[in-house]
Amino acid sequence: MTVTYTSSMIMAILPEILLLALGLLVLAVDLALKEEKRRSLGWLTAGGLLAIMAASLMFARPGDPEMVFGGMVRYDWLGFFFKMLFLFAAAITALFMMDHKNLGHRGEAYLLLLASTLGMSLMASAADLVMLYIAIETTSIPLYILAGFMTGDDHSTESGFKYLLFGALTSTVMLYGFSLLYGFTGTTGIYELGAMFSAGQVSLGLAVGLIFLIIVGLGFKVSIVPFHFWAPDVYEGAPTPVAGFLSTASKAAGFAVLMRLFLIAFPDVAASWSLLLAVLSTLTMTLGNLVAMVQKNIKRLLAYSSIAHAGYAMIGLAAVSQLGVASVVFYLAAYILTNLAAFGVVVAVGRETGSDEITAYSGLSRRAPGLALAMMVAFLSLAGMPPFGGFVAKVFVFTAAVKADMVWLAIVGVLNSIIGVYYYLTVLKYVYLYRMENEDEDQHPIPLSRPYTIALVVLSIGILLIGTIFAPWFGFSGAAAVNLF
Amino acid sequence: MTFPILSVIVFTPFVAGMLILLMPGERKTEIRMTALAAAAFALLLSIWVYFSYDVAAAGYQFQEQYSWLPALGIGYHVGVDGLSTPLVLLTGVVMFTGVLISWNIDDRPREFFAFLFILATGVFGVFVALDLFQLFFFYEIAVFPMYLLISIWGWVKTREYAAMKLTLYLFIGSVVALVGGLAMYWAAGAQSFDMLVLEQAGFSEAFQRTWFLPVFIGFAVLGGIFPFHNWSPDGHVAAPTAVSMFHAGVLMKLGAFAALRVGIMLLPEGAKHWAWLIMLLALVNVVYGAFIAMVQTDFKYVIGFSSVSHMGLVMMGFATLTKQGLTGSGVQMFSHGVMTALFFAAVGMVYNQAHTREIPKLGGFAKVMPFTAIGFIIGGLVSMGMPGFSGFVAEFPIFMGVWQVKPWIAILAAISIIITASYIMLVVRRVFFGDMPEEFVGHTHDVTVLDKVALTLLSVLMIGIGIFPALMVPMVQSGVENVLRLLGGA
């Protein structure tokens, strides 16, 4: 079989090609630089990622959806928008890694970050089960290593190992689901599967059964109940910048796949999986929020909060509509900015205090007013307060739920966000209200190095922009959503 | 293009707040001056709006409309009518006097004024909002700075508890109302959050009956409606003076106003169906609030519960759905706002010197701070509904309206006037007159000039409205006509 190469083939995977090149560049520079100068690899990585974003935005914007590489990759706005999100999240994460004492000077950490981003980009545009599976593994394996990167630290090792075991198990179950799909239908193309189910060539009952298997793997990636157990332990042990990356980009990648797979391959049984997702979403939000309330460690709190947020985002998907999908995409964009900012503050504070206990945040507003403000912006956005991104994002998913006659789900969502307000405010209470024990805060300022300052300023402004001037963002999300219907 | 005066009013505090946040924390005087300048600017503009509102023409004026998210029909649409114009003025006044009263806050004044101003932007934003989404947007903005303001600068003993309780109550109310708002949006099918469009939607009777209570009560939580009033006295007491003023003076009106604007005006059939329930709840507010206020020994709790009682009158006026009742409520929102702001200011002044609010331990303060005493007495007269003060102009029509609908409720509610008179006079006598306890003699001094300016401004407003009701009543009536049109036409 001869394959004719077209320019859209290159454009479809331009970000991936450039990511690979950047990875190799980082590796080469890593060899050339002396140990103490390797911190600047962070600038290289972040700058490179932004350059890739710029290049993709200029040259590789998709037109009409197109299948390339023999149906392996779908070149459309949905994939493209998510790729931009991943690149952005990775750039910010690279900045956060720079002054981390175990990651900043290690070239391979940046390389792993880039490799994982490459995998996510492919996840977002994969249109074939085989491609999808490879992409998921490409994403996960570097993350397993990064989570366990601090080999001298038992927590980190445990975190990496736990993540690996959970990941391996759930992805095996998912792979089993894929293999059954292939066995019954004889195809691995997601779009062909959809056509076959619609044409009635395969029983729909089968589809429902297989959805259960597939949701195990993807549920793990997006950490919904009951596949969430790994998240708190892994986040707690993993290096904080990595935890931030896990909770944002990796989760968003899972959602990208979830949306494409469910809406394209199984639209005919939407009623069943919509209900399933609604139930899972209810459980996820409720459990995540309730358990977050009692956490003493900020990373565990953010882990449970990120579980809860997966639940909110799921509401939009359960609504099965264009508006619903657009609201999920919007939600994820706002959430990525917000949660990265939250983890960024945790990185900066943890570096100075050496502790991730919430009590270590006492007096933060006196020690570092700017950092405290960034934390407030992030936490209020997580809580869903305007004028920050989290508010509009929540309103959009609830709007989608009400439209789909799922008023009960919207009510579950709003009640949950009240619990959220409670524990986010509790943390802010430490930041703004409590004082350090027996110490004068003026004597313990928290210095902020330039990468943190840049990243946090960018994120805070982004959170504010997405929450106030939301029309363009919603336009992009809508453009992505159109591709699935 | 005309000058976008309402937007300027809304965003002045926000911009000023951001500017203040950028200033170095130790330049406290500059921070205060900036705050005062911004507050004065917003006050002047709101006075200008008040006096250039064309009562004869009525309707929504100074409108500005921009598209915010066309895909969902979300717009930025502002405008004021006869009901909201006085409230904009009220916000301007309370903001200005609040800054004056808070001049001496020494712990992180930068953050204090910044948060207070963000709150003010939220409040202004709700009063001028003509778009439902925008209303919710600003409503939430008005809720969260409260938490920080109370928990950081509040009364040490109860601030954490009170701040969290308040925030959660208000947040629950608003999100429940939000779901109702979304339901309205889809039921209207007009792809628009614009309230002028939603007014015309002609929701089915069943729909209105289902959603009226969640929406009305959701907002009325912030108005302190029974049995969800519980957060309010605790919150008022725990808050620092300026925040109590803002809170009782303006924020509670926010709840009442939104309940009227969204609940009654968009769901008129629902309002007719449930008016009896709102009336009963409001009656409990009025009478129960007054009784509880009477037995308090904490000066600030007295005022806190009196707010619950007076806000009950506002709700009661709403529930009459008559011209008199609604007009009275409209004036009462303004009058009570000014009065409560003054009360809390006075309480703050006494507390700053005495460091206790236990009424039995106080006494004789009229001698050292005559201005405060006079101001408080004027506020008290307003509170009792004495003719010649704004309280009379407000309460009399409310009782007239209630009498038309359910005379026995009017009679029961009138009990509160007697009780109010008794607790106000009791407080005045115990705190301001009599002998000053030994421990305070020589340790107390008169209030500052800034405090006097604030007290004077608030007192003049209340007397002004009382003597010249024509300054406000026709304006409010023009707004009420619109409400009645919706009620009658539905």
A480 CA: distance to closest CA in chain B (Å): 14
Residues of B in contact with A408 (CB under 8 A): none
Q: Cβ B152–A421 below 8 Å, yes or no?
A: no
Q: Judge whether residue A3 has pLDDT over 70.
A: no
Cα–Cα distance measured from residue B420 to residue B287, given in angstroms and rounded to the nearest whole number: 10
Is A44 a member of any domain? no
Query: Mean pLDDT across chain A, nearest whole number?
Result: 90
Residue B420 phi/psi, 5-degree rounding, is -55, -50
Is A217 a member of any domain? no
Name the one residue in this structure whose structure tokens are 């109702």. Answer: B180
Among B481, B480, B331, which residue's Cα sits nearest to residue B393? B331
- Is A322 in contact with A479 (CB distance < 8 Å)? no
Is A147 a member of any domain? no
Work out the average pLDDT over A285-312.
93
- Is B272 in contact with B487 (CB distance < 8 Å)? yes
Minimal-distance CA residue of chain B relative to A414: B175
Domain that holds residue A309: 271-485
Q: At what angle do helices A154-185 and A204-222 cross, to 10 degrees?
A: 160
Q: What is the pLDDT of residue B489?
A: 53
Name the one residue in this structure whose structure tokens are 């207070």. Answer: B116
- B190 and A CB contact within 8 Å: no
Per residue in A215-248, pLDDT tens? Answer: 998 999 999 988 989 999 999 999 999 999 999 9
Chain A interface, Cβ < 8 Å to B: 323, 365-366, 369, 373, 380, 383, 385-387, 391, 395-396, 398-399, 402-403, 407, 410-411, 414-415, 417-418, 421-422, 425-426, 428-429, 432-433, 470-471, 474-475, 478
Cα–Cα distance measured from residue A119 to residue A252, given in angstroms and rounded to the nearest whole number: 13
Q: Cβ B175–A414 below 8 Å, yes or no?
A: yes
Minimal-distance CA residue of chain B relative to A428: B148
Residues of B in contact with A478 (CB under 8 A): 71
- Is B434 in contact with B364 (CB distance < 8 Å)? yes
Total tally of structural domains belonging to chain A: 1
- B111 and A CB contact within 8 Å: yes
Q: Cβ A391–B172 below 8 Å, yes or no?
A: no
Closest CB to B71 among A410, A428, A474:
A474
Question: Which of A379, A392, A399, A473 to probe by mutation at the B interface, max B CB count within 10 Å?
Answer: A399
Residues of B in contact with A421 (CB under 8 A): 167-168, 171
Q: Cβ A380–B136 below 8 Å, yes or no?
A: no
Bin B58: left if φ > 0, else alpha if -120 < ψ < 50, else beta.
left
Q: How confident is the model at residue A2 (pLDDT cuts 50, 70, 90)?
A: low
Q: Cβ A433–B151 below 8 Å, yes or no?
A: yes
Residues of A in contact with B25 (CB under 8 A): 369
Name the one residue in this structure whose structure tokens are 């009570």. Answer: B336
Minimal-distance CA residue of chain A relative to B187: A403
A300 CA: distance to closest CA in chain B (Å): 22
Mean pLDDT in consecutive groups of 10 residues from the start of chain B, 490 residues: 83 90 82 89 91 85 86 88 91 90 82 89 92 91 86 82 87 89 87 86 87 90 85 84 85 90 90 90 90 87 89 90 90 91 88 82 82 88 87 89 89 88 88 80 79 87 88 88 78
Total tally of structural domains belonging to chain B: 1
Among A323, A92, A313, A347, which residue's Cα sits nearest to residue A222? A313
Q: What is the pLDDT of residue B147?
A: 86
Supply the DSSP string of A216-262, one letter for each residue: HHHHHHHT-TTS-THHHHHHHHS-HHHHHHIIIIIHHHHHHHHHHII
Q: Cβ B137–A386 below 8 Å, yes or no?
A: yes
Residues of B in contact with A366 (CB under 8 A): 108
Chains A–B, number of C-beta pairs less than 8 Å apart: 89
A350 CA: distance to closest CA in chain B (Å): 24
Instruction: Kindly report which listed range (A16-20, A439-443, B338-342) carries the lowest average pLDDT score.
Output: A439-443
Domain that holds residue B90: 5-489
Name the one residue in this structure whose structure tokens are 């930068």. Answer: B110
A283 CA: distance to closest CA in chain B (Å): 20
Q: What is the pLDDT of residue B40?
A: 92
- B164 and A CB contact within 8 Å: yes
B11 CA: distance to closest CA in chain A (Å): 13
Among B451, B464, B223, which residue's Cα sits nearest to residue B342? B451
Q: Judge whether residue A74 has pLDDT over 80.
A: yes
Among A221, A229, A346, A211, which residue's Cα sits nearest to residue A287? A229
- B4-38 per-residue burial string, b: 16 or more CB within 10 A, e: under 16: ebbbebbbbbbebbeebbeeeeeebeebbebbbeb
Query: What is the residue type of A240?
Result: T
Q: Cβ A398–B152 below 8 Å, yes or no?
A: no
- B172 and A CB contact within 8 Å: yes
Q: Cβ B168–A471 below 8 Å, yes or no?
A: no
- B189 and A CB contact within 8 Å: no
Query: What is the residue type of B42?
Result: A
Residue A202 phi/psi, 5-degree rounding, is -125, 145
Is A447 a member of any domain? yes
A450 CA: distance to closest CA in chain B (Å): 18
Q: What is the pLDDT of residue B490?
A: 41
